[in-house]
Structures are given as structure tokens and as C-alpha cells.
Structure 1
Amino acid sequence: MTDAVVRELRDRIVRGALAPGARIDINEIAAELGVSQTPVREAILQLEGLGMVRRQPYRGTVVMGIDPNRLEEVTALRIDLEGRATALGVPRLSDVDLARMRELHAALESQSPLGAAASAGGEVDASDRFNRINREFHGVIYAAADSPSLVRLIGVLQDEADLIRLRVDMQKPTAHEFHAKILAAAERRDARAACEATRRHLLESFFAIRGEAIVPEGGILADVLRELGMETTR
């Protein structure tokens, strides 16, 4: 029950239904979801651990806003972990997996990834749909890696990345280009090429959100890119 409440509240936060600063009333959520207060309290503790909410004196639990400084750290960790998951998963993909990836890629082609903090509700919904399909596309490969702990860590980071994307105007989306490269590499069972395309995809998303194609020196992202032999500029 707690897991179900976590998923529901996390989904509302990611979609923007619960905006930064919004107060989460335990009694109201429990009544709305038809559960006792206990799983709601436990769910809030988990969400606090993820940095999505914070319990404040005299205010109760409120939704946290986006910390721009977290973008660099989240990107660095995702480049490392999602690259590893791709390298592990691609050689293990089945024909059924590849067929599903083709379906998802076609669905992504029909979706617009544009979404922003000031977007109208319909555009935010479109961005939410894009994020969900995008995650499933990559998730097919990650699941094939057969490493539940790795997949769980990636999921936590993706949640935070989705929160950022839903509140940032992505003027120059690059997802379609990289999804095509990842799919083509997966069909060839070329784990290295798929890994490189995945990592570059994440870096280009970082550039798009920042609005400039350069990685700040001295931070974790610059260190990770150097270790992986990747350029810190476009």
C-alpha cells in the first residue's frame, strides 16, 4: 500500500499536479486514495528521502522546488549508470525486446518533447507522455541488463530529471536523433555504440536545459566525462 501511495504522489509531483511549495495534507490524501494515514506517512518519508518533499515546522509536508545545481550531479550519475546498463543490456535483448523498442520509437516520433514550467496544461500533459514513453524505451534495455539494483538507482535519477524537464523550456530537443541511433545499435547488438549514443543523448539534454553547450569545470560532470573520454563541449 505504501508503494502505491509513493507511486501516486511521485507521479503527481513529476506531472506538476503538486507544484513546488504545495502542501501535502495527510488526511486529505488518505481519504482521497481510500487508505489509512499510516501508508501516507510512510510514503512521505520515502519521498523526503528522494528530495521530492520536505517536512517543515508549522507547515507540514511541502513539495520541493527544482535546485538547478542538482542538474549537473544528476546528469553525471545518469551518464555513468545508464551507460553501464546499456552496455550490459544490449547483448541480452531478445527479438521481442527489439520489437517493443521499435513500437516505442514510433510512438516517440509522434510525440513532442517540448514542455516548460510556463506551458499550458495540454503541453505539460504531452511532455509527461513523452517522458513516460522515453523512459520505457530506455527501460527495455536496462531491464535486459538483469541488475535490479542498477535499474532502481537509475529510476530515482530519472524521476529527478523528469521533474527538471517538466519545468524547463526545451527549445532544441535532441531525443529523436539519439533514439534512432540507440535503436540501430541495439538491432546490431553493438553494445559500445548504444552506450556511447545513450551517454551523448544525456549530455545533449544537459546542454539543452542549460541553454549552452559547455560543462562547468571543476564539477562532478566534468570529472565523469574526462574519465569516460567524452568532450565537455559540443
Structure 2
Amino acid sequence: MTDQVVRVLRDRIVSGDLAAGARVEINELCAELGVSPTPVREAILQLEALGLVTRQPYRGTVVTGIDPNRLEEITALRIDLEGRAALLGVPRLSDDDIERMRRIHSRILERPHSDAESFNTLNRQFHAVIYNAADSPTLSRLIAVLQDEADRIRMHVDVNDGTAEAFHAEILEACARRDASAACDATRRHLWESCIAMRGGDRTLPNGLLADVVAETRMEIPHDR
């Protein structure tokens, strides 16, 4: 029951159905989901640990605010962790995994470009095939937390740069060849371009964690397209 409540609340927070600052009403959730207060309170503790909700005096539990200034930090960590997951997962992909990725990719191409929520869901399903193959639950859990934060930011900015589909196609081709290095490189560049889109096209690379990760991974980042 706790896991069910976590999924429901997490999905509503990431999609924006529960906006930043909104109160999480325990009694209403209990009535809606048909559960006792205990799993709801346990779910809130888990979501608080993930940084999605905050318990405040006199207000109860509220959805944590969105901080776009953390985008560079989130992107840096995702480049590192998701690149590692690709290196681990791609050699273990089955033919069925590749076919599933093809189907998801087709759905991404067919969706309305204005449907950010649908993109977030399909995008995560596409990459999850690779990351799940890495067979590292801790790595997958850390990636999911960072994806939640990035998806929340994406829901609040106008992102329609059209680069995701091309990167997905490149990743898919690399996976079909079981070329882990190429899939890792494309994944990292995909994350960087997504960051640029959410920054309104700003391609500058400020000093800090993101610049360090780019240097350490030796990722080629063009400054002009």
C-alpha cells in the first residue's frame, strides 16, 4: 500500500498535478485510495527523503518548490550516472529489449510535440530498458530521483527543440549493435542538449560540477549547431 501511495503522489508531483507549495491532504488521500493513514504517512516520509515534499509547521506536508538553478547540478550527475548505466546495460540487452525500445521510440515520434507529460513518460521508459539491464538497483534508484527533478523543471519551461528524437534514434542504433561506448556518448550528449533546451538555448558552460563532469568524461560539446 505504501508503494502504491508513493507512486500516485510521485506521479502527481512530477506531472504538476500537485503544484509546488500545494498541501498533501492525508485524509483526502486515504478516502480516495481506500487506505488507512499509516501507508500515506510512510509514503510521505519516503517522498520527503527524495526531496519531493516538505513538512512545515502549521501547514502540514507541502510539495517542495522547483529550483531551476539546480539544473546544472542535476544534469552533471545524470551525465555521470546515466552514462555509467548505459555502459553496464547495453551489453546485456536482449533482442526483446531492443524491440521494446523500437516500439517506445515509435510512440515518441507519433506523440503531439506539445504533450510534455507524455514525452516525460515515454522518454523514461525508453532509457529504463537500458538502465534496468545494468542490473544495479541502487544506480537505477539514484537515476530515478534525478529524473524526477529534471522532469518537474521540464514541465514548467517551454521545451520543443526537437533533438530528443534524433538522440533516441542514435542510442537505439548503438544498442542494436551492442555498442556500449556509442550509446553512452549519445546518452550524455542527449542530456546536455536537454539541459540547453531547458535553459532557453543557453549553451554556455559555467564553471562548476557540470564543467568538471564534461571534462572528466571527455564529452565533445559543440558550442554552435
TM-score w.r.t. length of structure 1: 0.91
Aligned length: 222
Q: Is the 8 A contact 2:189 2:221 kept in 1?
A: no
- Aligned identity (percent) is 66
Residue identity matched to 2:58: Y
1:190 to 176, 179, 187: 179
Is 1:152 aligned to residue 160 of structure 2? no
CA RMSD of aligned residues (A): 1.2
Residue identity matched to 1:20: A
Distance between the aligned counterparts of 2:113 and 2:191, measured in 1? 14
Moved over 3 A (4+): none
Distance between the aligned counterparts of 2:205 and 2:196, measured in 1? 8
Q: Indicate the residue corresponding to 1:214 in structure 2.
A: 204
Q: Indicate the residue corresponding to 1:163 in structure 2.
A: 152
Q: Indicate the residue corresponding to 2:91 in structure 1.
A: 91
Mapping 1:97-136, distance limit 5 Å:
97-114=97-114, 126-136=115-125
2:166 to 177, 181, 184: 177
Distance between the aligned counterparts of 1:69 and 1:231, measured in 2? 24
The structural deviation recorded for 1:171 is: 3.7
Task: State the Cα deviation string for residues 103-132 of structure 1 (Å, max 9, x = none).
Answer: 111111112444xxxxxxxxxxx2211111
Q: Indicate the residue corresponding to 1:41 in structure 2.
A: 41
Q: Is the alpha carbon distance of 1:80 and 1:96 closer, same or farther for their aligned partners in structure 2, counting shifts above 3 Å? A: same
Residue identity matched to 1:165: R
Residue identity matched to 2:217: L
Distance between the aligned counterparts of 2:217 and 2:146, measured in 1? 19
Task: State the Cα deviation string for residues 67-97 of structure 1 (Å, max 9, x = none).
Answer: 1122111111110010011111111111111
Distance between the aligned counterparts of 1:70 and 1:30, measured in 2? 33
Q: Indicate the residue corresponding to 1:16 in structure 2.
A: 16
Residue identity matched to 1:3: D
Residue identity matched to 2:90: V
Q: Is the 8 A contact 2:2 2:42 kept in 1?
A: yes
Q: Indicate the residue corresponding to 2:71 in structure 1.
A: 71
1:230 to 207, 219, 222: 219
Task: State the Cα deviation string for residues 191-232 of structure 1 (Å, max 9, x = none).
Answer: 111100000000000011112012211x11111111111246
Q: Is the 8 A contact 1:215 1:233 kept in 2?
A: no
Q: Is the 8 A contact 1:83 1:198 kept in 2?
A: yes
1:142 to 120, 124, 131: 131
Is 1:81 aligned to residue 70 of structure 2? no
Distance between the aligned counterparts of 2:138 and 2:97, measured in 1? 20
TM-score w.r.t. length of structure 2: 0.95
